[in-house]
Amino acid sequence: MCAYNSETNWISRPTAFTLTPLPKLPMSTTPRPVHTSVLPAETLAWLDPQPGQTWVDCTVGSGGHTRLLAERVAPTGRVLGLDQDPAMLELARQQCAELPIVWIHANFDQLSDILIRHGLAQVDGVFADLGFCSDQLACAERGFSFRDDGPLDMRLDPTQATTAAELVNTLSEAALADVFWEYGEERYSRRVARRIVERRRAKPFTTTQELAELVRQCVPRSGTIDPATRVFQALRIAVNDELGCLERLLAVLPRVVRPGGKVGIISFHSLEDRRVKQAFRTPGVWQPLTPKPVQATAEEIQRNPRARSAKLRVAQRWTDV
């Protein structure tokens, strides 16, 4: 079942199981994506999708990897393209007309239900390129950037309830320090948490610059890295429950990938990569195809600095035959 309707410009929303008009978001008018896909050639070489196959791209983003997968499986195969950000889905859709892609606004931690809704028990392969896109970072209204002023939001799915401002203004000092330490490895986590709690008594945080300025006053600068980097990363991971979503995806993959099928996951920090590495080492379930994570060449990093921390791991679903 192809839920995308090109006449009405609607995209399936499997959580509601109805066709939902896309919300009007600032990015949906952006003509071209700013995001550059990481490790495109390596991803395609390791996953090696074949004509007629069915693949899932869990993280469509600006559609770069989705397009590569869809071109390979076309014309008889298809790609189910998921993203929890409807603005990214719309942007990607504009880049991938004519390709056999079903666009689905959903969190990838719902993958099993989504496949059932689309009449599928198993697929030939699943791909995920974790985190967020340059387009989301570049849109100040989304609140991901510590450089531009915007609302302290950071939700990848704008229909979700909890924002970064809510966490910053309501979590206890100890809980804030834990978030900054566990998800950002911020050495000054306690100091930042204490100062946040002191400051919010007078005035709750509403903008990215209010928070970034406070962090810059607490954390000494080291090299060229902005002192607010780790706190912003930690908050984004917490707001979107990024590690919880990854764990739920990893848990469901053995059921939804057919024997002999493949999974490829690109991660951007050790908290993610550790989880992927451990899951792919489960004997009798996965056979890791990449003994070491695949990383970008110096040339790609020069072209696309975001690729410097990307790690691709690929595994094949175990088969006895």
Ligand X SMILES: C[S@@+](CC[C@H](N)C(=O)[O-])C[C@H]1O[C@@H](n2cnc3c(N)ncnc32)[C@H](O)[C@@H]1O
Residues interacting with ligand X, by CB under 6 A?
35, 37, 58-59, 61-65, 82-85, 88, 107-109, 129, 131-133, 156, 245
CA dihedral 232, 234, 237, 240 (to 10 degrees): -60
For ligand X, the closer CB: 124 or 129: 129
Question: What is the distance between the alpha carbons of residues 271 and 92, in angstroms, rounded to a whole number?
Answer: 28
Tell me the residue ranges of DSSP E strands in the chain: 11-13, 18-20, 54-57, 78-83, 101-105, 123-129, 257-267, 286-288, 311-317
Nearest distance from C-beta of residue 320 to ligand X, angstroms: 32
Nearest distance from C-beta of residue 36 to ligand X, angstroms: 8
Question: Are 318 and 285 within 8 A, CB to CB?
Answer: yes
Question: What is the distance between the alpha carbons of residues 68 and 40, in angstroms, rounded to a whole number?
Answer: 8
In the block, tokens 């719309």 appear at: 90
Query: What is the maximal distance between C-alpha atoms in the chain?
Result: 66
Nearest distance from C-beta of residue 193 to ligand X, angstroms: 26
Nearest distance from C-beta of residue 50 to ligand X, angstroms: 20
Q: Which of 49, 118, 42 is nearest to 80 (CA)?
A: 118
For ligand X, the closer CB: 110 or 209: 110
Nearest distance from C-beta of residue 7 to ligand X, angstroms: 25
Nearest distance from C-beta of residue 124 to ligand X, angstroms: 18
Q: Which of 134, 139, 161 is nearest to 151 (CA)?
A: 139
Question: What is the distance between the alpha carbons of residues 25 and 228, in angstroms, rounded to a whole number?
Answer: 26
| Six token digits for residue 229 | 């980097």
Nearest distance from C-beta of residue 276 to ligand X, angstroms: 14
For ligand X, the closer CB: 63 or 77: 63
For ligand X, the closer CB: 35 or 214: 35
Phi/psi for 238 (5° steps) reads -70, -45
For ligand X, the closer CB: 192 or 245: 245
For ligand X, the closer CB: 206 or 229: 229
For ligand X, the closer CB: 312 or 315: 312
3-state secondary structure of 315: strand
Q: Which residue of this chain has its Cβ atom nearest to ligand X in the complex?
A: 61
Question: What is the distance between the alpha carbons of residues 43 and 69, in angstroms, rounded to a whole number?
Answer: 9
